[in-house]
Amino acid sequence: MAGIRAVPGYHGPMSTPEDSPPLLSNGDLARIFHEIGDMLEVKGELVFKTVAYHKAADAIAHSAVEVSRSYLEGRPPRIAGVGEAIAKKIEELARTGRLAFYEALCEEVPPSLVALLEIPGVGPRTVKLLHEELGVETLEDLRRAAEAGSLRSLKGMSEKTEQGVLAGIAALATRQERMRLGQAEAIVATLLDELADVPGLRSIQPAGSYRRRRETIGDLDLLAETDRPAELVERFTTLGSVESVIAKGPHKAAVRLLRGPQVDLMIMPPGEAGTYLIHFTGSKEHNVRLRGIARDRGWSLSEKGFLRLGDDGEAPAGEAPAGEAPAGEAPAGEPAVAAELRTFPTEEEAYGFLGLPFIEPELRENRGEVEAGLAGTLPVLVGRIDLRGDCHSHSDWSDGVHTIEQMAEAARRRGYSYLVLTDHTISLAIARGLSVERVEAQRAIVAGLNERFAREEADGTAPRETPPDGFRLLHGCELEIRADASLDYPDELLAGYDLVVASVHVSRGQTREQLTARTLAGIRNPNVDVIAHPAGRYIGRRDDLALEWDLIYRESVRTGTALELNGSDERLDLSDVRARRAAEFGCVFTIDSDAHRTEELDNVRWGTAQARRAWLTPDRVLNTRSRADLLAWVSAKPERVGV
């Protein structure tokens, strides 16, 4: 969140209205409504009110029409999700250049208070309390109060709270804002949609760490082929979601989005995308390896293509070295040389020029992919199309949103052969874990649904996406491994499930030995088939569990227990690095959504990306198998552990 900014053309409390106020852009309007949402949050207003203003701001920023102009021309636009009350405020701003409601809020809530919400663990109620009780208005005020021990005098605060606040303030000075993959995806999709109709545009796509599917993303990169670059740059830099223009040139531009990241746009000459895509996808280390191979073969490689080196190993006079801007005039007395430049329309051809096969973007981290390419040993990576089902999902019987039937129907319309329903077990009360009695009731519902699915497959009324072996909802659970390493349900109950995933949620502060023993208790149990989100992490919010990882991998192999690649972009657990290490031991994996609502079934796209970054092939992923093969694997677990 950000403090109140000066909005060009806005006639705020300290200014004198003009007869004809300047036209407010969509970006100007969006900034004001975001700030209203922030200030209402600090005031402690109901969440739905603050969310409404932020949603209105987003809708205005991405509107295809100039909202203010439409009002001034007597054509009030319809803005998705904006109700009558907010629409009247938009009209007031558009027609007069000022908003009484906003001005009153600015008087009531010091703008600097909003910045306090950026401190981890400091919410609106805390900000309000700090302001009312201690007169805190700025980050510096808060730092001084915490250092003086004043916070602990407030209700609900302690010395530990003060130390946490000071640590949070220190972190603000050094932190780099990074997005989750899902957040980056939403921004990219919106930008591509807003630029799609620019005349002359042939193609546009994301590059950089987002294309490589790193688990968090900093800046975003867009690469475009167009015959009319000036028009694309102009549209890009004037989008309503743009907060500021960082750079603008004839073939590239960079902007900072409103409450978002920096986005760089690069223009590729039509038909020459190959080396541009390689260069701007990265990683830097991968590109250094490619440039070394090129130089060994007598070429300099940059985004512009392969430039033939002279006999002295340098680019000809008048030409730019690889990676630099084009040279100007040749030095006096030295005639410019027409150097040989090779360009390619595709990455496959550009890699081929170096004697390499196409290297998937997820692998481009200089972790042996170039050597494997030269040796012809690059893996055929698992893809979403390989997945036959999903082994981890929740319903409204525990902490999910949608019903069992809704989750099952959504899964079979994805063409799955199976979905494993894995609601939480009894001791995880916060997630409404199921008692033994509720387990039996749920089992009956699953059986009834499967009877209906079988009838519909037999009479031809099943969804057309249904695979040849049909669809079945498998009954499972997410079994809690308790703090004392015991399991939530007895073996006789667990044996009745189709598949069991087990996980550690509570008592995370135990020693490495205790946490490892708990995880091993699940791995070694004959009825536990998968360890869900094994590291228990939330990216940027909660660190990995301290486990003896190599021991975990060895026991997983010995018992044939799968390790999950959890597709929630908040988790991505196991990480790609841990998953690749586990694969070296011989582990098998599942790629799961951990869906708590139907739309989250699509989380498998991020889990698949993690698997690809870990070099996993389809045979290493359990849920690429048919339903019959999956259930046979589950049935063999007792034999594998010697029971």
DSSP state string for 46-70: -HHHHHHHHHHHHHHHT-SS-HHHH
Point out the domain boundary residue: 93, 109, 125. 109
Q: Is the pLDDT of residue 321 over 70?
A: no
Give the CA angle between residues 286, 574, 164 to the nearest 5°: 100
Residue 110 has pLDDT above 80, yes or no: no
Same domain, yes or no, for 206 and 313? no
327 in any annotated domain: no
Q: Which two tokens stand for residue 433?
A: 């874990």
Residue 158: pLDDT over 90: no
Q: In this predicted model, what pLDDT tens digit does every residue of 260-285 receive, in sequence order?
A: 899 999 999 999 999 999 999 999 99
Look at residue 15 and tell me if it is in a domain: no
CATH label of the domain that carries residue 70: 1.10.150.110
Q: Are residues 488 and 583 in the same domain?
A: yes
The answer to whether 420 and 389 are in contact (CB under 8 A) is yes
Average pLDDT, the chain: 88
238 and 290: one domain? no
Residue 260 belongs to domain with CATH number: 3.30.460.10
Residue 406 above 80 pLDDT?
yes
Binning pLDDT at 50, 70 and 90, where does residue 22 land? low
In a domain, 11, yes or no: no
Q: Burial-class residue 159 by CB neighbours within 10 Å (0-12, 13-18, 19+).
A: exposed
pLDDT at 12: 47
Using alpha carbons, select from 193, 191, 236 the residue that is nearest to residue 210.
191
Which of 398, 544, 542 lies closest to 480 in space, CA to CA? 398
Asked if the model's pLDDT at residue 129 lies above 70, the reply is yes
If asked whether residues 414 and 446 sit together in one domain, one would say yes
Same domain, 125 and 230: no
Half-sphere exposure of 244 (CA within 13 A, CB side): 8
The pLDDT value recorded for residue 338 is 54
pLDDT tens, residue by residue, 554-590: 999 999 999 999 999 999 999 999 999 999 999 999 9
Q: 38 versus 356: which is more confidently predicted?
A: 356
Could you tell me if 256 and 366 lie in one domain?
A: no
Measure the CA–CA gap between 12 and 152, rounded to whole angstroms: 38
Q: How many domains does the chain have?
A: 5
Q: How confident is the model at residue 315 (pLDDT cuts 50, 70, 90)?
A: low
Candidates 462, 426, 466, 461; CA nearest to 442 is 426
Higher pLDDT, 348 or 109: 348
Does the pLDDT value for residue 10 go beyond 70? no
Provide the pairing of β-strand 305-308 with 299-302: antiparallel
| DSSP class per residue in 180-198 | EHHHHHHHHHHHHHHHTTS
Q: What is the pLDDT of residues 508-545, one digit of tens each?
A: 889 999 999 999 999 999 999 999 999 999 887 788 89
CATH of the domain at 131: 1.10.150.20
Q: What pLDDT was estimated at residue 58?
A: 82
Q: Which of 157, 174, 191 is the last residue of a domain?
A: 174
The CATH number covering residue 619 comes to 3.20.20.140
Q: Is 494 a domain residue?
A: yes
Q: Which of 172, 105, 103, 110 is nearest to 136 (CA)?
A: 110
Tell me, yes or no, whether 127 and 222 share the same domain.
Answer: no
Region 21-43: what's the mean pLDDT?
Answer: 81
Assess whether 156 and 138 both reside in one domain: yes
249 burial via Cβ count (<10 Å: 0-12, 13-18, 19+): exposed
User: What pLDDT score does 541 carry?
Assistant: 77
CB 594 within 8 A of CB 533: yes
Q: In sequence order, which residues have a C-beta less than 8 Å from that of residue 453 and are 6 or more positions away?
A: 408, 412, 462, 470, 471, 472, 473
Region of poorest pLDDT, from 17-21, 494-498, 536-540:
17-21
Neighbouring CB atoms inside 10 A of 132's CB total: 10
Regarding whether 185 and 138 lie in a shared domain, the answer is no
Q: What's the pLDDT at 584?
A: 96
Residue 642's pLDDT band, with cuts at 50, 70 and 90, is confident
Domain residues for 293?
274-318+338-375
Least confident of 35-49, 298-312, 629-643: 35-49
CATH number of the domain at 283, please: 3.30.210.10
Q: What is the pLDDT of residue 20?
A: 58
Q: Give the mean pLDDT of 470-497.
A: 96
Q: Residue 50 has what pLDDT?
A: 83
**pLDDT at residue 316, as a whole number:** 59
pLDDT at residue 352, as a whole number: 97
Residue 194 has pLDDT above 50, yes or no: yes
The rounded distance, in Å, linking the Cα atoms of 590 and 610 is 11
Distance between CA 95 and CA 79 in Å, rounded?
Answer: 17
- Using the predicted structure, report yes or no on whether residue 86 has a pLDDT greater than 60: yes
The verdict on 32 and 168 lying in the same domain is no
- Which two structure tokens, joined as six digits, stand for 86? 């907010």
Shared-domain flag, residues 471 and 569? yes
Regarding whether 231 and 311 lie in a shared domain, the answer is no
| pLDDT score recorded for residue 303 | 95
297/150 Cα distance (integer angstroms): 67
340-365 pLDDT, tens digit each: 999 999 999 999 999 999 999 999 99
Amino acid at site 101: F
Q: Looking at the domain assignment, is residue 324 inside a domain?
A: no
More confident of the two residues 52 and 441: 441
For the ranges 218-232, 236-250, 325-339, the lowest mean pLDDT is seen at 325-339
37, pLDDT greater than 90: no
**Closest C-alpha among 596, 479, 564 to residue 527:** 479
